[in-house]
Amino acid sequence: MASDGDGSTDDDGTTDGDAASSRDGAPTDDAPASLPDETTSMVLTEDGALEPRTFAVPDVSEGGALLEVEMTSVCGTDVGIYGGESHFDTLPLVFGHEVVGRVVAGDDETLDRMGVSVGDRVVPEPYIPCYDCHYCQTGNYHMCEAERAYGVSIPASEPPHLWGGYGEYVYLAPNTKLHVVDEDVPAEAACLGTVVANGVRWILTKGDVDPGDGVAIVGPGAQGLASVVVADEAGADPIVLAGLSDDADRLELGTELGATDTVFVDEDGAADRVRAATGEEGPPVAVVTAPSGAALRLALDVVAPLGTVVLPGFPGEEVEIDADRLVHDEISLLGGRGQALEVERAMGIVERRGDDVASIISHVFPVREAETAIERQLPGEGFDPDIVHAALRPDG
Ligand SMILES: [Zn+2]
Ligand SMILES: [Zn+2]
């Protein structure tokens, strides 16, 4: 499986010999079971092709840490990159930025800095801050100029290669932010910790939702459903979840998670129905997770005067909006990216609502079948509408 160009196996040398004690830098008596010399990850070698590749398990005794993957979910971003959407030009790439696993090795300084110990069950944040640039220094590390994120922007050709969760191990760079998660949280929920954190950012931080506020969430994918859980936890009421009539099952799941009303956006009078559910003026907050211009226009149409529209879904097109209405009704339109600074708060929600959050994962595949998991989410013959959000487990 070793290959030439992407630096797998051979050229980066493993430390043969007394594995456990030398690799994790911990005293031998609480060292975990010894680590293998090699491991396999699924690598995107070109758009539309994921292949297993074997890499050396990195020696982290001099810096960094090693995560043994328990579960990784398949983000829409992965599906988009696989399908050929613009990306960071970082092939070959190991996908996987929604991950839960266990710290199995790390040097003392790194572990101290991360605030974890070998054996801890953790969720890593996707963004790796550089702590040097203007954005990192102002607390906006999700905008870091270095643009380093697990599973998205660091190529597998860069040592130590294991930069994503589609495999058995992930290398954790020293600046990685980790969050410990309780042992009794289902893996399906824990791996969505950062997705729930997105909801925290959009609903609470950007939307500033208070108990009793009405919220509309347009888009019933994993991001929208996680946002429903966050809105419910915040005491929002009513919570309207809007989606296509093809997404009826997802809307139904949304009601189980806390949505009080659902609306089909492709039926006539959708805006009126959102307003009917949220009171004459419409909801004070609308979050648009669906990547479409129509979804944004609906949100801008229904949001109450003085309200806020949070837009994390890329419309991917120019969208004509009623700018006069923004002025007249003092509507705030806020872009929203990922979950910086919100993951710890999200872990509390994941721990309280583990079974609910886990229900967003509709399918679990062995990681070797990652290609199938993605193909079934791409438009075309193999498309499987039953997949809400898929997750991968190492084959073990
Ligand atoms: Zn994602
Ligand atoms: Zn930075």
**Is a pLDDT exceeding 80 seen at residue 6?**
no
Let me know: does 42 contact 374? Beta carbons within 8 Å: no
Report the relative pairing of strands 363-366 and 390-393 from DSSP bridges.
parallel
Q: Which residues are 73's β-sheet partners?
A: 98, 391
Ligand 1 centroid – CA 275 distance (Å): 30
Q: Are residues 78 and 135 in the same domain?
A: yes
| Inside any domain, residue 347 | no
Q: Average per-residue pLDDT in the chain?
A: 91
Q: Are residues 161 and 243 in the same domain?
A: no
Structural domain for 282, as ranges: 195-335
**Is a pLDDT exceeding 50 seen at residue 147?**
yes
pLDDT attached to residue 5: 38
d(CA 183, CA 353): 14
Q: Are residues 141 and 248 in the same domain?
A: no
Residue entry with tokens 């539309």: 48
Ligand 1 centroid – CA 150 distance (Å): 10
Q: What is the CATH number of the domain that holds 386?
A: 3.90.180.10
Q: Are residues 182 and 209 in the same domain?
A: no
Q: How many domains does the chain have?
A: 2
Ligand 2 centroid – CA 341 distance (Å): 14
| Inside any domain, residue 90 | yes
**Is a pLDDT exceeding 90 seen at residue 338?**
no
Let me know: does 338 contact 127? Beta carbons within 8 Å: yes
Q: Are residues 100 and 227 in the same domain?
A: no
| Inside any domain, residue 319 | yes
Q: Are residues 223 and 172 in the same domain?
A: no
Rounded (10°) CA dihedral 58, 61, 65, 66: 40
d(CA 272, CA 293): 18
Q: Which residues contact 284 (CB under 8 A, 6 or more apart)?
A: 209, 213, 214, 215, 303, 304, 306, 307, 308
Amino acid at 141: Y
Q: Are residues 325 and 365 in the same domain?
A: no
Q: From 233, 99, 263, 81, select the one nearest 166 (Cα to Cα).
A: 99
Q: Are residues 152 and 207 in the same domain?
A: no
| Inside any domain, residue 345 | no
Ligand 2 centroid – CA 314 distance (Å): 23
| Inside any domain, residue 158 | yes
Each residue's pLDDT tens digit, 206-251: 999 999 999 999 999 999 999 999 999 999 999 999 999 999 999 9
| Inside any domain, residue 344 | no
Ligand 1 centroid – CA 252 distance (Å): 23
Report the relative pairing of strands 285-288 and 215-218 from DSSP bridges.
parallel
Tokens of 109: 């300084």
Boundary (domain end) residue, out of 335, 350, 384: 335
